[in-house]
Chains A and B, each alone.
Chain A
């Protein structure tokens, strides 16, 4: 079993979303995540609050980040367990962020053997 990091970007325009749409989306996220938990795939995860800051280089320059548009902002992350990239991708396919043209970045976590 290997670990994979899911990074969620974009998705529905939540500030403009109606209460019904928000509740429906919330339920979809919940169902998807409940399934991951039930199957023992979920290790951890959290939504991220925005907006953040970016610290750059030796000058430690602080900026509001390179986010030109909302869809480039990481809205949350999740650590899951899967047998390989294929399974990790399969698990990510149910993510509701995809319903609104958002993206899931799937990254294998490097295995470090002591």
Chain B
């Protein structure tokens, strides 16, 4: 038995190595096999991980684990093409190069070149975000195939059950299989399709960032994956677009505040009370750089405005020193592009800071459709309190408490009520 690996010193493995490589290999194999053979690609990847799982404890972790996984996946792909019934079907559909044993290895090696992996991931990303799939299915498919998460993990991330995720994935796969060859869209198609891709990244990020319902580690994974996917887009000339940089800037400005938003006991700390020295200066700096890149060639989108707002907060020396008037006017412009109730609510909050609680309340009372949202009721309660309307504030906070489900949010609301 070979023991040099097991006993020898091996550097620590990257924590998400299997997950990350699973996504990269699934993308490469799916591009190679065609979208109809997604399951075959996933089987090859699972075989590869199983082989690593069983061999590495005995033989030690290879010096280059990534290269090892990719080599085993290439061999696994050839094996499946030769022996698997689905592989045989695929050979019938595919170019004659694959049919000859002599040229198969060269073709597989060429198809799964490490240099083309990033492109393959992008193609896969665009395919997962095809307009024929509803957004929630797109995101489930992205998390499963591209990010390498399992069904239980995705279910936890969206605070739902595995059955729901399985259903979403089942429908998503049906649509996905019909796509055929995976391409990065071109021309006008590209910008329309990029919008879908960005929307799914932002959803991913928000699920990770806003949900305090479940203080699970996957939350941070979601933020990381969203940043990773956006970064991937900036690495390809076709998708290195102003909107992508704007979204990246927006997410980075928020991510810089992640640690400051939560106390050691998990309690929520509101923006006004956050210790700004805990904000990650490097991330804020990086966000600023992306915001500059986002404005090249006159790029302009809702992401630009949201990034600008997040940037105003990130650069303000204190809550009081924040330029609230500028933020209100950014919200005014954002409302033109994104006339959503949430945006109206956030504008009202900024207006209250700029012009006083009464003005803020007047704007808030015009927001319709968020009455069943605990954040809306909590915001109302806070502005009522500041306006000296204590009893109305109490009613609003009590309503918010009935609507909130996350323990941390409930604690925060109870504190608010007790302080009235």
Q: Is B56 an interface residue (CB 8 A)?
A: yes
In angstroms, Cα B52 to Cα A44, docked, is 19
In angstroms, Cα B19 to Cα A33, docked, is 23
Q: How far is the CB of A73 from chain B (nearest CB, A)?
A: 13
Interface positions of B (Cβ within 8 A of A): 1, 3, 6-7, 13, 15-19, 21-22, 46, 49-50, 52-58, 61, 148-153
Contact B54 A20 (CB under 8 A): no
Contact A20 B18 (CB under 8 A): yes
Q: How far is the CB of A19 from chain B (nearest CB, A)?
A: 4
Contact A47/B7 with A19-B49, A23-B13 known, Cβ cut-off 8 Å: no
In angstroms, Cα B17 to Cα A23, docked, is 8
Give A47-59 as 1s and 0s: 1 = Cβ < 8 Å from B's Cβ atoms. 1000000000000
In angstroms, Cα B19 to Cα A42, docked, is 31
Contact B7 A22 (CB under 8 A): no
- Which residues in A have their C-beta under 8 angstroms from that of B13? 23, 27
- Which residues in A have their C-beta under 8 angstroms from that of B6? 30, 33-34, 37, 42
In angstroms, Cα B16 to Cα A21, docked, is 10
Contact B1 A45 (CB under 8 A): yes
Chain A interface size range = 20 to 34
B14's nearest neighbour on chain A, judged by CB, is A23
Which of B1, B50, B58 contacts A14 (CB under 8 A)?
Answer: B50
B10's nearest neighbour on chain A, judged by CB, is A30
Contact A76 B54 (CB under 8 A): yes
Contact A19/B57 with A37-B3, A42-B3 known, Cβ cut-off 8 Å: no
In angstroms, Cα B349 to Cα A22, docked, is 46
- Which residues in A have their C-beta under 8 angstroms from that of B55? 47
A18's nearest neighbour on chain B, judged by CB, is B150
A-side interface mostly: helix
Contact A47/B18 with A18-B150, A18-B153 known, Cβ cut-off 8 Å: no
Q: Is A15 an interface residue (CB 8 A)?
A: yes
- Which residues in B have their C-beta under 8 angstroms from that of A30? 6, 56-57, 61
- Which residues in A have their C-beta under 8 angstroms from that of B148? 18-20
Contact B57 A26 (CB under 8 A): yes
Task: Pick 30 A–B contacts, CB within 8 A, sort by A.
Answer: A15-B50, A18-B19, A18-B149, A18-B150, A18-B152, A19-B18, A19-B19, A19-B150, A20-B149, A21-B150, A22-B50, A22-B53, A23-B13, A23-B15, A23-B16, A23-B17, A23-B53, A25-B53, A26-B18, A26-B56, A27-B13, A30-B61, A33-B58, A34-B6, A37-B3, A37-B7, A44-B1, A47-B54, A47-B55, A76-B54
B-side interface mostly: helix
Contact B58 A22 (CB under 8 A): no
Count of CB-CB pairs between chains A and B under 8 Å: 74
In angstroms, Cα B149 to Cα A34, docked, is 28
Interface centre among B21, B50, B55 (most CB of A within 10 A): B50
Which of A15, A22, A26, A46 contacts B1 (CB under 8 A)?
Answer: A46
Contact A34 B7 (CB under 8 A): yes
Which of B7, B46, B150 contacts A20 (CB under 8 A)?
Answer: B150
Residues of chain A from 9 to 40 with CB closer than 8 A to chain B in the complex: 14-15, 17-23, 25-27, 29-30, 32-34, 37-38
In angstroms, Cα B49 to Cα A46, docked, is 17
In angstroms, Cα B50 to Cα A26, docked, is 9
Q: How far is the CB of A15 from chain B (nearest CB, A)?
A: 7
Interface centre among B16, B19, B57 (most CB of A within 10 A): B57
Contact A26/B22 with A20-B16, A33-B58, A37-B3 known, Cβ cut-off 8 Å: no
Q: How far is the CB of A102 from chain B (nearest CB, A)?
A: 14
Contact A20 B19 (CB under 8 A): yes
In angstroms, Cα B53 to Cα A47, docked, is 10
- Which residues in B have their C-beta under 8 angstroms from that of A19? 18-19, 21-22, 49, 148, 150
A30's nearest neighbour on chain B, judged by CB, is B57
Contact A46/B149 with A15-B46, A37-B7 known, Cβ cut-off 8 Å: no
A14's nearest neighbour on chain B, judged by CB, is B50
B23's nearest neighbour on chain A, judged by CB, is A19
In angstroms, Cα B61 to Cα A30, docked, is 9
